[in-house]
Structure 1
Amino acid sequence: MTPSTKRFILDQLITNRIMSLATVRPDGYPQATTVTYANDGLTLYFACDRNGQKVRNLRRSSKVSLTINKDTANWKKITGLSMGATAKVLERPADTKRALALLSRKFKDMKGLSAEDLAETAFVRVQPKVVSMLDYRRGFGWTKLVRV
């Protein structure tokens, strides 16, 4: 991965706050949901309901797809990322503490979560395997595929 490619990807991860995440449902269909995320380099973290469908899906299959993009009224300025990745529900206290710290830095209101809230929360780590960069500023539909 070239330095400019990595810079573009990291810029997208840092400046955006929301991703659409698709997990695999029991019937094999993808289930897309919206989640907030924080990143540590190319690794992403998000939090969700410990008993929710996303967690059940991830315990069955770690394969996910996701998109991250900016909202813009000018389609010539569309930028974003699409990833094929694996996701793991974190179990070790040190891992969940790290995920919470990263998310709390990006989303200040997460610092106020109670112990009861945290008991109902699952933290998930997402490791990209392939990243498709999208940058319409370089031309309509411009993409570049990068293996991680």
Structure 2
Amino acid sequence: MEDHELTEEERDQMLDQAFKKMNIKRRHLSRQELEKEIINYLSKKKPCSLATCGMDGVPRISVVDYINEGLTIYIFSEGGEKFKNIKENNKVAIGMGTGSKAAKTRGVNIWGIAEVFTKDTPEFAHGMKLFSPILKDMQQAIGGAPIEVPKGMRMIRVTPTKMVYCHNSKGISNAHWKAE
């Protein structure tokens, strides 16, 4: 059996046919509309999967919470193999998705550049401000006691270079975004 990779044109034709069968009008968004859709989805604050790969070529994936500021993703983490990998190779990928039926699927795949910031940097302080609602919830959950940031905590900032988004119930699929 011949192995055939779909071209973008073939993929678009296949998606057009699938949406037609589901009685959903396919939409092609402008850059501005796509960015608005992605930001709306990111604001749902579902956990995401952060994929890294170090010099050894072994991929690592971590399910993490995040905060977004526009299209930029911030991840607050205590450590792990992901930091070694990012130090060796700052190219990362993030995946998040919801829905278990084709017509309900919504998600985004993000490729980007990761930077790691420690407690003594302005970028870490900025990320902490973004995380303050989550930290306040944690504080309330533990009875109101102040939350101390443990030694070694770091902030990862992912700046997207490319994204692919879908929101099938709105007729949006395989919508590509690239950094300018």
TM-score, with normalisation over the residues of structure 1? 0.85
Q: CA RMSD in A?
A: 2.1
Give the corresponding residue for 2:124: 96
Partner of 1:128: 160
> Secondary structure of the equivalent of 2:43?
helix
Matched residues, number: 143
1:12 aligns with 2:41: yes
Counterparts of 2:100 and 2:53 in 1: how far apart (Å)?
31
Report the Cα offset of residue 130 of structure 1.
0.3
CA shift for structure 1 position 120: 2.2
> Residue 148 of structure 2 is aligned with which of 94, 114, 122?
114
Match of 2:72 in 1: 43
Matched, 1:74 2:101: yes
| TM-score (ref. length: structure 2) | 0.71
2:110 pairs with one of 83, 92, 95: 83
Runs of 5+ in structure 2 lacking a partner? 1-29, 140-145
Deviations 1:85-121 (A, max 9, x none): 0101014521111111112224534564314x1x221
More strand by share: 1
Distance in 2, matches of 1:2 and 1:21, equals: 24
Distance 2:152 2:65 in 1: 17
- Deviation at 1:24? 0.4
**Contact 1:22–1:30 (CA under 8 A) maintained in structure 2:** yes
**Structure 1 unpaired stretches of 5+:** none
